[in-house]
Amino acid sequence: MRRVPGWPPALGLQDQKHSLKFPAGGVTIGGDAMDREMIKFTLRCADKHEFDSWFQSAAAFDKLQGAGMVTCAVCGGTEVQKALMAPSLHTAPDKVPAPAPTPEEQALAQLKRQIEQNSEYVGLNFAREAREMHDGLAPERAIYGEAKPEEARKLIEDGVPVAPLPFVPRRKSN
């Protein structure tokens, strides 16, 4: 975090078409200040200048306005009122729930579960294991794993019955 001292007197994150002003005592930049819920008001001064400003709450605006700390972002005037507007809220980003899986995704997930439950994961040894089973050097069993493209191509060219999986296998450790 960094503290920015001595900005011109104004309130909060006042915004007149992207220009920002901060309180005279400085403002803390960084951290989770903008992650908190805030409300944006359109304000109008006695000279009819309109500008937007963010506040922690409607009560915070009222308190600061009562103390004369809300000033016009254009002329610095202290006679500032809320303009007629629809308030805008900034809230902490919610975690968006994942969309429901499509029937195709459900079928792939079921296929993956079935292969993982009924087959032996041989990892990067897949090409060697598949070739040994095909050549009769290892017992026949259901296996799955990973192979480099050139290894897979060679297995297919040699007639070893293999097929690519439509998912990335979960690597098993130990």
Whether 70 and 61 have beta carbons less than 8 Å apart is answered as yes
Residue 114 shares a structural domain with residue 136: yes
Q: Do residues 110 and 68 both lie within one domain?
A: no
Assess if residue 129 is contained within a domain.
yes
**3-class secondary-structure state, position 110:** helix
Range of the domain at 7: 2-90
The mean pLDDT values, 10 residues at a time, for the chain of 174 residues are: 36 38 39 60 89 86 88 87 69 74 91 91 93 94 92 93 84 56
Residues 131 and 85 in one domain: no
In a domain, 171, yes or no: no
Same domain? For 20 and 58 the reply is yes
Residue 89, strand partner residues: 39
**Those residues with Cβ within 8 angstroms of residue 129's Cβ, 6 or more apart along the chain or in another chain:** 122, 138, 143, 145
Q: What is the CA radius of gyration of the chain?
A: 32
Element (H, E) at 117: helix 103-118
Q: Is the pTM of this model over 0.85?
A: no
Domain count, the chain: 2
